[in-house]
Amino acid sequence: MAKKIGFIGLGIMGKPMAKNLLKAGYALYVYDIVKAAVDELAAAGAIPCATIREITDNCDTIVTMLPNSPHVKTVVLGDGGVAQSARPGTLIVDMSSIAPMASQEIQKELVKKGIRMVDAPVSGGEPKAIDGTLAIMVGGEQADYDEAKPLFDILGASAVLVGPIGSGNTCKLTNQIIVALNIAALSEGLLLAQMAGTDPRKVFDAIKGGLAGSTVMNAKAPMMLEGNFKPGFKIDLHIKDLANALDTAAAVGTPLMLTAEVMQMLQHLHRVGEGQSDHSAILKFYEKMADTEVRSEG
Ligand code: NAD
């Protein structure tokens, strides 16, 4: 008989991840507050659930893919949540990007009921969720990581156990800081090229193989040069991640000067209606400041 897995949170990321688990042969019990998302997965062969209780009645392993810390707290610890009805020994694999301290707080409550949890946020976005090639960053116990590894092998190209509970999300915040600051640096550099009368496309072609070259540059510079800011990864999601990074930094006393500055740019972009744009739209902040558009001639 196929192993039963619960899956809660069927959004941009959760939907294709759940579909990959279905394709791999798991019996998948799915729940989301949006019924249309549950119906779509049911049409693909999943077992639709109207309550979280229906999941805990059937599954000892439950994956969650939710927006942020409050959503995970509600689903796991809230009224009618996983912790109320899950059997002791149940393993929660939270793949949402949330605050590391929230992961630790949630796990502390779960321990009282004998429920296990790993935090396992991902990088790679919707295309890699569809391909099953996400980069997965895990926090938790080795034995729980080992137990979840077959799922990670289906959903991702890599899964690294970074440390104890919360470490996966600390790793994800590090990733998000580096990505945001890279996009800001790229914007600043391309703007200088444009205003100094040099074709920014040629600059990109000339430097992408050198030390400044990066995955971020290869993915985002072409979008910027075309003025294409279709998401990808939305400004509003990056605000959420940097807010979690700044909160974590405040708790442990880390100076995050550049992160704080880029956060102001993102907040401005949100205010002027760019919250749903790709984070490469950080360029628009610079363009507004300089009253100059960065566009390739080629
Ligand atoms: P999303 O908003 O598309 O999906 C979240 C889903 O959770 C929605 O279907 C929503 O209805 C559901 N949900 C919310 N509250 C719920 C509740 N109480 N009970 C049940 N379901 C509930 O978000 P997403 O883009 O799929 O992102 C999920 C997580 O993955 C986020 O933490 C995000 O930061 C992270 N992430 C996203 C990307 C990306 O490119 N979109 C990339 C890497 C990581």
CATH number for the domain that contains residue 151:
3.40.50.720
> Is a pLDDT exceeding 70 seen at residue 10?
yes
CB of 74 closer than 6 angstroms to any ligand 1 atom: yes
Instruction: Decide if 4 is catalytic.
Output: no
86 and 54 together in one domain? yes
Q: Is residue 296 included in any domain, yes or no? A: no
CB of 32 closer than 6 angstroms to any ligand 1 atom: yes
Q: Is residue 216 included in any domain, yes or no? A: yes
Q: Is residue 211 included in any domain, yes or no? A: yes
* 8 A C-beta contact, residue 227 and residue 295: yes
* 8 A C-beta contact, residue 32 and residue 52: no
CB of 83 closer than 6 angstroms to any ligand 1 atom: no
CB of 10 closer than 6 angstroms to any ligand 1 atom: yes
Nearest to 222 by CA among 208, 239, 234: 208
> Is a pLDDT exceeding 70 seen at residue 297?
no
CATH number for the domain that contains residue 266:
1.10.1040.10
124 and 193 together in one domain? no
Query: How many angstroms separate the CA atoms of 90 and 110, rounded?
Result: 10
> Is a pLDDT exceeding 80 seen at residue 161?
yes
Prediction pTM value: 0.94
123 and 269 together in one domain? no
Q: How far is the CA of 64 from the centre of ligand 1 (A)?
A: 9
216 and 69 together in one domain? no
What's the domain range around 253?
Answer: 170-290
- pLDDT band for 232, please (50, 70, 90 cuts): confident
279 and 213 together in one domain? yes
The tally of domains found in the chain comes to 2
Q: How far is the CA of 191 from the centre of ligand 1 (A)?
A: 33
Residue ending a domain, choose from 106, 127, 162: 162
Q: How far is the CA of 53 from the centre of ligand 1 (A)?
A: 20
